[in-house]
Amino acid sequence: MTAVGIIGAGAVGQAVGGLLVHAGWCDTVMVASLHGRSADGLVTDLEDMSLVSASSARARRADLAGMQSCDALVLCPRAAFTNDRTTDIRMAGLIANGLMIRSLAQKLAGFTGPVVVVTNPVDVMTRLYAEVSGSTRVWGIGSSTDTARYRLILARRMGVPTAAVRGHVIGEHGDLAVICASSTTVNGRAVPVPVQAIRAEMAARPGRIAAGIGRVRSGPAAATLAALALVLGVKDGSIELSTPRNGVHLGVPLRFSSGQPTVCLPRLDAGEMRDLAAAEATLQSTYHRLRSTLEEMSAS
């Protein structure tokens, strides 16, 4: 039996729930949310999906205490805040989401299964949850979605199938993402990569999605499902996830075998190494600013 708990019944939580019901390897999907009505609604919707699709997976409403019985958790809640940023858009919810993730980490301390974090800014939230909860099996999605977008855009520009492109985006899930152009290949061969043009296209995609359907959902949900299958040992493979490196959490490629990860950082040229160091420095300062703010708010 495999039970996965989803905390947060918004756009991504809904998409993850649907994918889990359809996947075939998950027996129970347990749902909790900040607002009970949304969890009840998602469970009811997943029940319908399970029946119509003849899935053996069953959806259940749960509280946070009930999540302790799950094999893995997905954290995808979003606090209420207005995002009016045009740059570093994923940082807009830093304090609001930080308060929420810290609270969840305190309440879920002692959970020993793998945890996949989706809430933005995902690299900072992943580290916050890991340090407050004490869990050592916490990963964040973000760079996996960035890598997929990179491969898609480059494949379209070169007129080849996406399967022909091998390459990674690592570092921060945000403005300081590092495109590993020097190690990218197409059909096994090194190619010139228009990094700035591709970066601009990648940056525009979330806004295009949000303008059309309100929230980015399907890409992060698929990345979450892929991560769950790997961290639970359902299958072996590679994925870019946020994990500890040089004292911060940021995206790097990981190869999973029977649920155990090995870091597989690609070859980086001098410029890419500088970009990765810049991402590390920014994430470090952002995290310390968040923890300082949260401590001040707790003391007041």
Q: Please, where are the H alpha helices in 53-194?
A: 94-107, 122-133, 143-158
Q: What per-residue confidence (pLDDT) applies to 86?
A: 60
What parts of the chain have a pLDDT lower than 70?
Answer: 82-87, 89
d(CA 16, CA 21): 9
51 in Cβ contact with 255 (< 8 Å): no
Residues 6+ apart with CB under 8 A from 8: 33, 34, 74, 75, 76, 77, 78, 118, 119
59 in Cβ contact with 17 (< 8 Å): yes
174 in Cβ contact with 162 (< 8 Å): no
Angle between helices 143-158 and 218-231 (to 10 degrees): 120
Q: What per-residue confidence (pLDDT) applies to 36?
A: 76
Q: What per-residue confidence (pLDDT) applies to 80?
A: 77
Q: What per-residue confidence (pLDDT) applies to 43?
A: 97
Q: What per-residue confidence (pLDDT) applies to 93?
A: 83
The pairing of beta strand 185-186 with beta strand 189-190: antiparallel
Could you report the per-residue pLDDT of 79-116, keeping only the tens digit for each?
Answer: 877 666 666 767 778 999 999 999 999 999 999 999 99
Residues 6+ apart with CB under 8 A from 103: none
Q: What per-residue confidence (pLDDT) applies to 34?
A: 83
172 in Cβ contact with 279 (< 8 Å): yes
Residue with tokens 């799950």: 70
156 in Cβ contact with 148 (< 8 Å): no
134 in Cβ contact with 103 (< 8 Å): no
Nearest CA-CA partner of 30 in 53, 63, 61, 9: 61
Could you report the per-residue pLDDT of 109-150, keeping only the tens digit for each?
Answer: 999 999 999 999 999 999 999 999 999 999 999 999 999 999
Q: What per-residue confidence (pLDDT) applies to 300?
A: 77
Q: What per-residue confidence (pLDDT) applies to 149?
A: 97
Q: What per-residue confidence (pLDDT) applies to 207?
A: 87
